[in-house]
Amino acid sequence: MTRRRSLLLALPALAAATALPGCGTSPDTFEGKGPPFHPEEFFAGKLRSHGVFATRLGAIETWFTAHLLGAWNGTKLTFDEHIRYGDSFEERRFWTLRRDAADPTGRSWVGEASDATGPVRGEVVGNAFRLQHELNMLTVSGSRRTLGFDQWFLRTAGDMALSRSAVSWYGIQVGTAQLAFQCVSVGVTQGTVYPGQAAREEQPAAPLTRSPGASPVPMPGAPPPSRIMNAPPRR
């Protein structure tokens, strides 16, 4: 049985144990500190993330990497996420976020995720972005189980952010997920992305093929062999 699957099977037992306190993070911690977190800028492009999930006892259950692709059309942020776990299990998630029109400060966000059981809610505070949601995640038996996430993103540099999530089951914290995000692209990608786009763009390009005996294909921008400067003489 894989580590990720054993985690999902163990959730009822973890929930029966003594609950951990929540993240306990005060929004005042991030006021006026670090580079401001603008979700429509940070998530609008190509990103990579690496993370681990630890149980309430501190044991690392699994690790994962993700490829994200996002875009901003002026009113709506869309980004597609392709996740690979250490046991080769793969997961995909599609997000849509927009500013909450009911908040005149412009700090609140609302949206949806492809496997969320309800609305996704976010709040920007200084160089941090808090995202709260519940996801209907797949278990080893093929059924689904709802897990709550109270996630904080902390922007530590222009192209880097750290994230910590308190993961709960029926309101009881069962572990934490910690991630590091890095922007791969430069600038803000305009427009919209679609479900599955991140996984498709992550596929490696097909290798070049040539007929037997044919000359090697030069790299793009490389000069022809006859014009290579300072090449050693043939003997």
Q: What is the pLDDT of residues 73-83, one digit of tens each?
A: 999 999 999 99
pLDDT above 70: residue 18: no
pLDDT above 80: residue 190: yes
DSSP H or E stretch at residue 227: none
Question: Tokens 């006859």 appear where?
Answer: 226
Q: What is the mean pLDDT of the chain?
A: 80
More confident residue, 35 or 211: 35
pLDDT above 50: residue 192: yes
pLDDT (0 to 100) of residue 32: 73
Contact (Cβ atoms closer than 8 angstroms) between residue 154 and residue 163: yes
pLDDT (0 to 100) of residue 208: 47
Where in 15-143 does DSSP place strands (E)? 46-55, 60-72, 77-85, 90-99, 108-113, 120-125, 128-138
Cα(158)–Cα(187) distance, rounded to whole angstroms? Answer: 11
Q: What is the mean pLDDT of residues 37-56?
A: 96
List the chain domain ranges: 3-13+34-202
pLDDT above 50: residue 224: no
| Residue type for position 205 | A
More confident residue, 117 or 214: 117
Question: Tokens 């000069």 appear where?
Answer: 223
- pTM of structure: 0.75
The answer to whether the Cα torsion of 154, 157, 158, 160 is positive or negative is negative
> What are the backbone dihedrals phi and psi of residue 3, each rounded to the nearest 5 degrees, phi first?
-65, -40
Q: Is 10 exposed, middle or buried (0-12, 13-18, 19+ CB in 10 A)?
A: middle
Q: What is the mean pLDDT of residues 145-160?
A: 94
Q: What is the mean pLDDT of residues 205-209?
A: 50
Cα(181)–Cα(121) distance, rounded to whole angstroms? Answer: 20
Q: Architecture of domain 3-13+34-202 in CATH?
A: Beta Barrel (2.40)
Cα(114)–Cα(182) distance, rounded to whole angstroms? Answer: 23
Cα(70)–Cα(154) distance, rounded to whole angstroms? Answer: 18
For the chain, give percent helix, strand, coil, nearest 5: 15, 45, 45
Q: Which residues contact 206 (CB under 8 A, 6 or more apart)?
A: none
Question: Could you give the percent of the chain with pLDDT greater than 70?
Answer: 73
| Contacts of range 32-36, beta carbons closer than 8 Å, 24 or more positions apart | 32/126, 33/126, 33/127, 34/126, 34/127, 34/154, 34/155, 34/156, 35/127, 35/155, 35/157, 35/158, 36/124, 36/126, 36/127, 36/155
